[in-house]
Structures are given as C-alpha cells and as structure tokens.
Amino acid sequence: EDQVTQSPEALRLQEGESSSLNCSYTVSGLRGLFWYRQDPGKGPEFLFTLYSAGEEKEKERLKATLTKKESFLHITAPKPEDSATYLCAAPSGNTPLVFGKGTRLSVIA
C-alpha cells in the first residue's frame, strides 16, 4: 500500500536553530511530492512541489529537497512565526493526494 510518512511528529527548536523535517514515501511512479504549511484552525497553505530526485526549491527560510525515497524540508535559522504543522503529500494511484500526518514545529524565542 502506498504510504506517506512524516517524522518527527513534533519538533521543538530554539530560534535560529536549523533543522530538517522528513517525508518518506512508498508511492510507486512518483507524480509529484507536495509540501504544505498549516496554522492552527486554518486550511493548509501550499509551499512547494517537487517532481524529480535532486530537485530543490526554496522560499525564505525553507528549502525542500527530494530523493528517490524521501523528501526533506530544511528550515534555516527559524523564527517563532515558522511555528506550524508541515504536511507532505503525494498522488497515489487514482487518489489525487495522500497526506502524511504532519510534523508539528514549535520555534521558541
């Protein structure tokens, strides 16, 4: 069964402490790997799409990378406003997107 698994479930960082979030997938024939940010009580906000191994995309302090089996969301020198849940997702068969359960990031000033 195709799966999208995120780790860790929760991550607590000091402001300025860089780290990475992991998204591993077992979807065959990857047709895109998507990253979203979700703030409490709000809908997910689209961040990035990656299509092929070796691809990288950046937005402010975030950089997403993709290998054949996993994707990383690198957060450089995070600020408290980066606190949110980060979701990854991939198409699977006839399902448009299968989501991981997310990583809840807390950045402490």
Partner 1 sequence: SQTIHQWPATLVQPVGSPLSLECTVEGTSNPNLYWYRQAAGRGLQLLFYSVGIGQISSEVPQNLSASRPQDRQFILSSKKLLLSDSGFYLCAWSPGGDGQYFGPGTRLTVT
CA atoms in the 13 A half-sphere facing the CB of 10: 2
What torsion do the CA atoms of 60, 65, 70, 74 make, to the nearest 10 degrees?
-40
Q: Which of 96, 107, 101 has the alpha carbon at shortest distance from 38?
A: 101
Among positions 54, 68, 96, 109, the unique one binding partner 1 when judged by CB under 8 A:
96
Residue 59 CA to chain centroid, in angstroms? 13
* Shortest Å distance, C-beta 44 to partner 1: 5
32 binds partner 1 (CB under 8 A): yes
Among positions 10, 20, 101, 106, the unique one binding partner 1 when judged by CB under 8 A:
101
Considering only residues 54 through 73, tell me which ones interact with partner 1, judged by CB under 8 A. Answer: none
The region of 12-20, 40-48, 54-62, 71-79 touching partner 1 under the rule CB under 8 A is 40-48
